[in-house]
Amino acid sequence: MYSLNRSKRWNINFRLTAITTVLFLSAPVKPALAAESNKDKITRIEKVLFFKTYSSESIDKRVERLEKRFFGEPMEGSLDPRIERIYDLARPQIEAAEKSTAPVVESTSDPEPEVKEPTPEDREREARKAAVQKAREEEIESLMKDGISFWKARDARHAMDRFDQVIRLDPRNSEAYFSRGVIFEANGQLDKALASYNQANFINPDRLDFKEAITVVKKALEKGGNQDQMAVEAAEAFKRKEYLSALDLYKQLEEKYPKNAKYKYNIGTIYLLIKSPEQALGYYEKAKKADPKQPKYKEAYKKLADTLKAKSTELDKRNAAWDKRMALEQKHRSKKGTGSKPVTQTPPQTQSQMPVQRPGPMPGYQQQPPPQQQMQQPGPIAQQAPAETPALVKQVLSSLGLIVNSSPNGIVINTVGIGSRAAKSGIKIGDVILSVNGVNVQSTTQLALLLSKIPNGQKGQLLVKRQGQVGQIMF
């Protein structure tokens, strides 16, 4: 019986062993990574993400570093679920990295320093920096406002000074560079305007108005509108009301840039200011033709043309009335006759006739003098100098760069135009012109006539008195 029980027990044990073996072999095999410890998982993840490990650090710190990488900040809770969460996210990268044979360097560097909390001194230092930065920004804003206000008041010098201060405080302030460009462009300094616009566009390339300003200035430069130092001097002379100097400089600029309508317009304006409207009208017309799209040129030409036409009509009426009056007086004298003694005639070589002229033209209007009417006068009479025409005299002298006054001792120089022919000849303010080419000068009209007769390419000899001493100047 014992043997039977033993055999039965052996059969039972054999069957249990077989069943256990079958169950074990039929169970699914889990990946090797699933049996890894938390430390191994973290190591594998670090090798994939950082190409090195931080085995010298604590598990907590290593987990926090990985959480910052995946979630942006450390998480809360126990380590196991946190590690599992990171591992699940990193699994695709781990599996891909297992196919690579790239070596992984074990970290031998010191642990990364922990971020320290700022001390009170650090906070105070940062507060001072913030205060300085705020004060600087407020100063820049105030300077920009002042510069804009000055520019609106057409005070370019102070406006430019404010914008320059802004650039010194903030070299990357595109608005200040752009504002400087606007001032340069308004003053005709297109090359400097373009440089300022380019700097503003370099700092802030997204501003469309910067790009548009660059395009406009480039087109102006292509048309020959670039201004040089002579243009600056002309503008400054005009502001000082030295019109003859400005006129001479603008005429030189017109020869240099014949397509520039602005120079022609400025010349016309100066002629209008020195009471030469007909010359002004001619230059306004030239400016209008050079730039027909500019409305102010058309408006200036039309307004002046209408004014001259109205003055011409009124002058014709005045001259007609004067002629009628003179005719009536002549008729009255011829009817009245005379019973007095005959008029003693002077010898032909000394006799002269007194010119009787119509009323002078209206201010600012030039016209050739009408034929003189003759009237016999009793007794010998002296020859009268021809009446002066101030506008014509000014026109001739202004082209030479001179403003003069008559005096008993000669013609006194009041103004000498910068860069003019007179200035280049050596004439200075206060000089007294006594003669031209040996002919004594007694009036401004005579001076203008003598100077205008000097042939082109030749020089005239002027006798000039300066500070009590008399000398010669080749003009």
- State residue 227's pLDDT score: 52
Summarize the confidence of residues 153-168 as an average pLDDT: 90
Report pLDDT digits (tens) over 64-95. Answer: 888 887 777 888 888 888 888 888 888 877 77
Rounded-to-integer distance, Cα 445 and Cα 468, Å: 25
Report pLDDT digits (tens) over 244-277. Answer: 888 888 888 888 788 888 889 999 999 888 777 8
- State residue 167's pLDDT score: 93
Q: Is the dihedral of CA 177, 183, 186, 191 positive or negative?
A: negative
Report pLDDT digits (tens) over 437-451. Answer: 888 888 888 888 888
Q: Which of 104-113, 140-149, 382-391 has the highest mean pLDDT?
A: 140-149
Q: Over the chain, what is the mean pLDDT? A: 75
DSSP 7-60: HHHHHHHHHHHHHHHHHHHHSPPPPGGGG--HHHHHHHHHHHHHSEE-TTS-HH
| Bridge partner residues of 464 (DSSP) | 433, 471
Cβ contact 403:434 at 8 Å: no
Residue with structure tokens 């020959």?
A: 224
- State residue 17's pLDDT score: 56
Q: Which of 6-20, 28-42, 454-468 has the highest mean pLDDT?
A: 454-468
Rounded-to-integer distance, Cα 413 and Cα 407, Å: 10
- State residue 176's pLDDT score: 93
pLDDT at 233 over 50: yes
DSSP run (H or E) holding 245: helix 243-256
User: Which pair of tokens denotes residue 345?
Assistant: 């005639």
User: Which pair of tokens denotes residue 87?
Assistant: 């591992």
- State residue 115's pLDDT score: 60
Summarize the confidence of residues 143-160 as an average pLDDT: 90
- State residue 437's pLDDT score: 85
Summarize the confidence of residues 357-368 as an average pLDDT: 38
Which of 326-330, 375-379, 457-461 is predicted with the least confidence, judged by mean pLDDT? 375-379
Nearest to 444 by CA among 381, 475, 398: 398
- State residue 370's pLDDT score: 36
Which domains are assigned to the chain? Answer: 31-98 (no CATH), 132-222 (1.25.40.10), 229-309 (1.25.40.10), 390-474 (2.30.42.10)
Contacts of 386 (CB under 8 A, 6+ apart): 355, 445
Nearest to 327 by CA among 367, 360, 356: 356
More reliable by pLDDT, 325 or 287: 287
More reliable by pLDDT, 392 or 141: 141
Summarize the confidence of residues 465-472 as an average pLDDT: 82
Question: Measured at the alpha carbon of residue 374, what is the angle toward residues 371 and 377, in degrees to the nearest 5?
Answer: 150
Report pLDDT digits (tens) over 412-427. Answer: 998 888 778 888 888 9
What number of other Cβ atoms are within 10 A of residue 395's Cβ? Answer: 19
Confidence tier at 214 by pLDDT (50, 70, 90): very high
pLDDT at 34 over 70: no
- State residue 113's pLDDT score: 59
Strands 105-106 and 52-53, bridge-based pairing: parallel
pLDDT at 342 over 60: no
- State residue 372's pLDDT score: 35
Report pLDDT digits (tens) over 308-333. Answer: 888 777 767 776 776 777 677 777 77
Confidence tier at 232 by pLDDT (50, 70, 90): confident
Rounded-to-integer distance, Cα 261 and Cα 283, Å: 9
